[in-house]
Structure formats: C-alpha cells, structure tokens
Amino acid sequence: MPKKATPSTARPRATTPASDTPPAPSAELLRELTGKSHWLRRELFQMVMATKKGHIPSSFSCTELLVSLYYGGFLRHRKGEPHDPSRDRLIVSKGHAAMALYPILADIGFVPPGELANFTRKDALLRMYADPSIPGIDAISGSLGHGLGIASGMCLAAKQDGRDQRAFVVLGDSECYEGSVWESAYFAAHQGLDNLVAIVDRNGLAIMGRTEELCRIGSLEEKFRSFGWESLSIDGHSYGEILPALGRLGRTGGKPLAIIANTVKGKGISFMENRSEWHNRMPNEAEQRQAWLDLETNTIAN
C-alpha cells in the first residue's frame, strides 16, 4: 500500500560547534522507541474504536514526538507521581491530540490503565480534550493558542525560583494561525526562556484542507527564528532526527527552542495519511480491518 511520508524539508542547522552537539541516540533506544510508536498507535486506535470518539489523524502525526518526550528522557518525571511539582511540564496545545497522552499516562502510572477503555464514556476520567483534572495533564486544551503562553508562565516561574524545570508545548501548525501564539513567541524570547520548547506538528492540514492553500503559513522555522528563538526543522516521525533536536535543549544560548516537525497527519494508517477528511470521520468495518493491518505491519522509518 502507498505510504508517502512527508519528506523532511530541512535538517538541524549546523550552526553550533561539534563539541556542543548532543550525543547521537543509541541503536537500542531507537529500537525501543520504534516499538513504543507501534504500541501507542494501536492503543489509541483501540481507545477510539471503543466509543467511536476522538481524533486519530491528529494524534498519529505527533506520536513519535510524544513518545520521544516521555521515553527518550526529555520530559523528566517519576513513575506514579503525577503531582510531583518538580516534574517537567507538557502541554499538548493542539487539543485534538491531547488524547494521545492517555495510554502513556496509564503506562507511567499517572492514571489507572483501566480508564483507557472508558475514554469519553459517561462521567469517566478521560475526556475528548484534556484538562488538569486528569493526573499528568498540565493545562486545559481544546481551544487553540493558549499552551505556549501558559507554558511561558510556568517556565518564567521556574526561572524566578531557580528551579531546573522545563516545559514542552506541542502546537499544531494550523494552531499557529492564532495570533496569541506569536504574542507568546516574542514574550518567551524576551524573557530568555531557554527551558521552553515549542514543537510544531507541521502536518500541513487544517480541517478544511492544506494550510498552504487555505491561508499560507510559509516557513515556521524562519518565523520562530525571527522572533528570537533557536529554530530548526526535522522529520517528525524519525527518532533519529527528533532526539538530537530535543537534545538542543539547554544548548541554545538562552533562547527558547522551536522544533518544526514535518509530519504526516494520520501517519500509520495508509488511507488516512494526508487526508483532511479523516479529521472527524470514523472508519467503517472494512476500513477498521485495513487500519489494523496497517498498524500491525507498519514500520516507521528511522
């Protein structure tokens, strides 16, 4: 079946001395994370199919990004301790994909694993859009353009307190249409929030079509750089590129870090990939069989 991943349009910029580059990820870690990709997509697909609610394509475009944060050692946390105030913060500001955190939160002991099967069910813990009543969720989502500002406040507080805490925000590329994102972008740069990382899930699709056709976004890498951020573009499905990009954290000379992750909406299910109409659609039985087949056999290139 055709699997056309969005080609990576840029590589991490070689603007820093070799001695300052983060160490390359080990083959063992890459294998482990690839396994987590498969696991997370299958968990999410099951979770959504149980109640036919949720957003698969938005979640699948940032699967590797979230796995990298939690299992690549970047989002520092202690298993089973969601209320630890020193835990690093993560806001999935593109709220459609906040549900992608749920299997991870169950896996690290933040929410009971049994809750996954209750996703969106009456009075259950796990809702369509996440909010801080769910252990491990650091901000409410569902309305675009809030996460970067809230995370900036968290990062500023950590700096004022002299705490080594950082915050990661996963933004949608279409979310970057919101002006508040850019209000936050120059605030974070001015405040020197080098403990803040914005990861833009650049899947190129809004609900109604392709961003560059609907209302051109252009180069987000350049935009963030011009706002005073360290900015780079990567293939957002390649652990070989995601991990070194996240490794830039702490090596940005006082700047916040923007990672433009070129991704494929719906990555992993052939017929959903790059198709905006799947944003809100549920697969029928035949499509579900095909999707399962894809999720069983799919390999993410690293």
Partner 1 sequence: MAAKPKLMRDVLIQEFYARARKDPRLLFISADLGAESLDTFRADLPRQFIHPGICEQNMIDVAAGLASAGKTVFTYAMASFITARCYEQLKVALGAMNKPVTVVSVGVGLGYDDAGPTHYTTEDIACLRALPNIEVWTPCDEESTREITIECCERPAFRYLRLERPGLPNVYQGNFRSAMGAGFCEVAPGGDVLILSSGYMLHRALAVREQLRMEGLEVTVTDLFRIKPLASRDLAAYASRFSHVITLEEQCLAGGFGSAVAEALVDQGVAKPMLRLGLPDRYFFENGGRGHVLEKSGLGVSTLAQRITEFTAPAARSRNRLPSVPQSVSF
* Min CB(28)–partner 1 separation in Å: 36
Q: Say whether residue 17 binds partner 1 (CB under 8 A).
A: no
Closer to partner 1 by Cβ: residue 65 or 169: 169
Task: Classify burial at 3, counting beta carbons within 10 Å of its beta carbon; exposed 0-12, middle 13-18, buried 19 or more.
Answer: middle
Closer to partner 1 by Cβ: residue 72 or 256: 256
* 75, 101, 155, 197: which one binds partner 1 (CB under 8 A): 155
* Min CB(184)–partner 1 separation in Å: 5
Cα separation of 116 and 32, whole Å? 22
Main-chain dihedrals φ then ψ at residue 148, nearest 5 degrees = -65, -40
* Min CB(120)–partner 1 separation in Å: 18
* Whether the Cβ atoms of residue 56 and residue 278 lie closer than 8 Å to each other: yes
Q: Say whether residue 195 binds partner 1 (CB under 8 A).
A: no
In sequence order, which residues have a C-beta less than 8 Å from that of residue 90 and are 6 or more positions away?
Answer: 69, 75, 101, 138, 167, 168, 169, 170
Site string for partner 1, 165-194 (x = CB under 8 A): --------------xx--xx-xx-------
* 43, 115, 131, 287: which one binds partner 1 (CB under 8 A): 131
| Pairing between β-strand 205-206 and β-strand 209-210 as defined by DSSP bridges | antiparallel
Structure tokens at 256: 């916040």
* 62, 148, 171, 269: which one binds partner 1 (CB under 8 A): 148
* 2, 83, 122, 161: which one binds partner 1 (CB under 8 A): 161
Angle at 114 between CA 109 and CA 119, to 5 degrees: 105
Angle of the 27-51 helix axis to the 63-71 helix axis, nearest 10: 120
Closer to partner 1 by Cβ: residue 57 or 149: 149
Residues that bind partner 1 (CB under 8 A): 131-132, 138-140, 142-143, 145-146, 148-158, 160-161, 179-180, 183-184, 186-187
